[in-house]
Amino acid sequence: MTRRLFSVLLALSLVFGSTTLPAQRRFRGPTPDLDVKLTPYDGRFVFARLKFTTAPGGFYYMGLPAWAHGFPKAENNLGRILKDVSTMRLHIDASNLLALDDPELFKFPVAYMAEPDYWSMNDKEAASLRAYVLKGGFIIFDDFRDDFRNQSVGWANFLTQMRRIIPDARFIDLDPSYPIFHSFFEITSFNIIPQAYDRGRPILRGLFENNDPKKRMLAMINFDTDVSDYWEFSGTGFRPIAEGNEAYKLGVNYIMYALTH
């Protein structure tokens, strides 16, 4: 952890309040406004979250559709970190919410999807996402697993949807030697990745152009883990700051890789 990053996180804890919260807070509170006004592209970075038709079973968290879990706190907190540890020009407290086939998506180089184990889409959306990644877009998939809520077919559903986008897609299990883990912070071990509630070790996978790991990565997949959970609850006392630091390192590296490759 850099001294700079620690100071930023400490500041966040003061902003959001450092009192430890009961676990019930996680499943209560006001429902976020999901009718988000588009932040037009002006050269500054804006986090783009993908919304999709949620399959049955994906409405368990505050009754929200699966894609909305953590929205917009997770990306807004990550944006504050990016602003303070880098020279990036970005919109603070702004997150675009875009449909999979929205033409506006092509103006934003990085997209994020939460809980793709409940993801479903039509042919038009699949074609749009295919064009997006092949033209240079990068997608971060996060917060999904095989568990009782999705009848242990979380990965299978994700794979089915992705192969509608890229039929011959092969997902490569990553290790810390891959460039994405050295694009800003030096991540030399996955042992740093905190696990809020997932069991076992996180599985990080990549999808590469032409299935060649020496070429550009098209998508980063965080499976059996929820990295953005630590962004969402940063500074609330619900998650330890030390663990949040490591989750932020991953998020910063993902964004930096996407913007430089």
Q: Residue 115 and residue 144: Cα distance in Å, rounded?
A: 5
Q: Residue 201 and residue 193: Cα distance in Å, rounded?
A: 9
Instruction: For residues 242-252, give the mean pLDDT.
Output: 97
> What is the predicted pLDDT for the residue at 207?
98
State whether residue 41 is helix, strand or coil.
coil
Q: Is 137 exposed, middle or buried (0-12, 13-18, 19+ CB in 10 A)?
A: buried
> What is the predicted pLDDT for the residue at 32?
55
**CATH entry 3.40.50.12140 includes domain 3-18+44-260:** yes
Mind listing the pLDDT tens digit for each residue in 177-195?
A: 999 999 999 999 999 999 9
Task: Break the chain into its structural domains and give their ranges.
Answer: 3-18+44-260
- 212 φψ region: left (φ > 0), alpha (ψ -120 to 50), beta (else): beta
Q: How confident is the model at residue 93 (pLDDT cuts 50, 70, 90)?
A: confident
Return the amino acid letter for 197. Y
> Would you give the DSSP letter of residue 101?
T
Comparing CA positions, the residue from 31, 152, 30, 51 lying closest to residue 95 is 51
Q: Are 171 and 206 in contact (CB under 8 A)?
A: yes
CA distances from 33 to 71, 76, 91, 112, 144 (A): 9, 14, 19, 18, 23
Strand partners, 142: 114
Mind listing the pLDDT tens digit for each residue in 18-51?
A: 333 333 334 344 455 576 788 999 999 999 999 9
Q: Residue 135 and residue 204: Cα distance in Å, rounded?
A: 23
Torsion over CA of 8, 28, 227 and 102, rounded to 10 degrees?
Answer: -100
Paired tokens of 40: 């037009």
Strand partners, 90: 45
> What is the predicted pLDDT for the residue at 4?
54
Q: Residue 256 and residue 258: Cα distance in Å, rounded?
A: 5
Q: Taking the model in full, what pTM does it have?
A: 0.88
